[in-house]
A and B are shown apart, each in its own frame.
Chain A
Amino acid sequence: MKLEMKDTPGQLVTALKPISEAGGNIIAIVHQRDATSTSDTIDVQVVLELAEKRLGPLIEDLKQHGVRVQRIGKERLIHRRDFIIIGHIVHTDLSDTVDQIDRTGFSEVSEIQMVMPGIHEPSTARITIKATHADDMQRAVEILRRIAVHKDILVIEPVEEVL
């Protein structure tokens, strides 16, 4: 979110406090002071993780502290992981595979790129899963592993989690 606040000492702390009080996890802060600016306010961009229902109260709280929220860019599913799957992906009902992950509500398949070299040969696909939280991603991975065992698909997982 992009915040506008008074250019006085201590204002940044004043702005960040309500975020942590709301249970928000601050990921990054971009705070650029323009030396030539004559404005008595500064803009600060904050990247944070927050449960959706707490967003409204947070904006109110910030306003009361003299901080105006200019803009909010929302990405609900911030955890993203790529997998490679190998096997008879289409013939073991690809839409069911995708659906099992999508219908969790906390994770979804956002991209699939598939290569099918021959009719009876195994297909290979890169599949991207997005999830709301790290725990949800872990649960989605477990679902994918279960599907893989059931449908005899090889899942190649990444070594490290990529945010």
Chain B
Amino acid sequence: MKNSLRQSMAWLHTWSGLLLGWLLLAMFVTGTSAYFREEISLWMEPELHASHATPETPELAWQALNRLAPDARAWDIRLPDARAPVVELGWQPDTPEAQNEGRRRGERAIMDAATGEILTPRATRGGDFLYRFHFELYGVPRLWARWLVCVATMFMLVAIISGVITHKKIFKDFFTFRPGKGQRSWLDAHNATAVLALPFHFMITYSGLLLFMVMLMPWGIDAAYNGDRRAFFDDAFPRATETTAQSQEAAPMTDIAPLLAQTRRAFDQPVTRIEVNRPNRAGATVSISTDREPEITGRRRGSAPTLVFQANSGALLETRPGTSEALPAAVRFYNLFANLHLARFADPAVRWLFFLSGLGGCAMVATGLLLWVAKRTQQLKQRQPGASLRLVNALNMASMTGLIGAMAFYFAANRLLPVELAQRESWEIRVFFISWLLSLAHALWRPNRRGWIEQLAGITVLWLSVPLLDMATTGSHLFSATAWQHGALAGFDLACLLLGALWGYALWRVARHGGGKKGTARQPRRSPGTATGAAS
């Protein structure tokens, strides 16, 4: 249909990009925030902020479970770490009903790591809402949403490959950015954010598909295992089988402190998790795990260095060094991509690196969408834009400033909605979607430069006021002790201020430079880099 490979690829890139760009942008924005999912959740539960780990924390947790569920079937204690300052207590009630509900069901409680008090944080979905949204959206049947997201991801992969083919001088233009040239500048910005972060874009897209490969591509399993997926999982991703003692005879457990010290010494790492089987009975066992060395091709779960003790006598039963067993190459390949996508191994610095790369991804999709409009605006000369161009521009606005504004509303709702409100967590999410819809309505009403300026002004004010709201409602602020005790809180406020400043800069560029041309859309998104693309 087209003359050359390059032209047909350009066509494919443009149209598949436009069709799925808005969805991809929403996935990129919420997915990028998910690198700090636990930090966002912590920020959204101010009731937990006073908690901090002390040397006595494991014993407090031990006492708390003895108090709460002395005759549970199993205990699970997750101690505070760099990302979460509280203790998560889990236990499985020893009733037939609880067992029938499957392994995952159980009771949970959050404990203050310093006082041992059980905390009840406000009802919120926290960072998990944004994280879940990025691969299963909201309010759509889960399976449908996942398929839709995967289709968009697949076309992102196609867009990456076709984009590389389309790009005429990919290495020659590697460092090229020509500001102040309208469409040309948007193209340069799109290329720069795409090509420079190409390894990240490819990784995040391809691994996103791999994470859902059993749903997307079950045909290999069905062919080789005659459809027996359980058998495949047992082969490819084996789990350690648990040995469970069945005794009901009550028997006291030994002091936990020496066992903790022994584990700490054995692996030279702080203890992160304590699991107990049949607590307070004869034959109880306790497994104490520490952090493991980051291992990028290793398994996603388990295999942390662990000592298993007989809990009544304190005798050492087993040492699991946590070195990863020799995995087959294909599984290691899968793990590599899965671990990279989820940033499982990441220390804070690396997490920021991924976050910034994610912003680069947002910028790439956003500049691509803006380029589509800029190109057609330029072709208009002096004529009025048609309905379709106005529609695309409005959808661009809603998908960029609208979503960013909705996130700020979500955070603000967390602080402003009454703590005792019924269905509180749903209300936070409703605020998110209502504000997003309102921004779409506004964008459809004023789909031009005025609209962009108003929405940019709105998100600037919103993001800058989130830290203020935090200070007003919880007393925690950038210079307070709580904020720095948990770096996450200071980081959250700081990120809000920086992003707010970035939106403000974008606003300034659009307001100052955008007037000359047909100003439908020329405002940058999300990366300080592309902000300079605003000149016209």
The yes or no verdict on A and B being binding partners is: no
A interface list, Cβ under 8 A from B: none
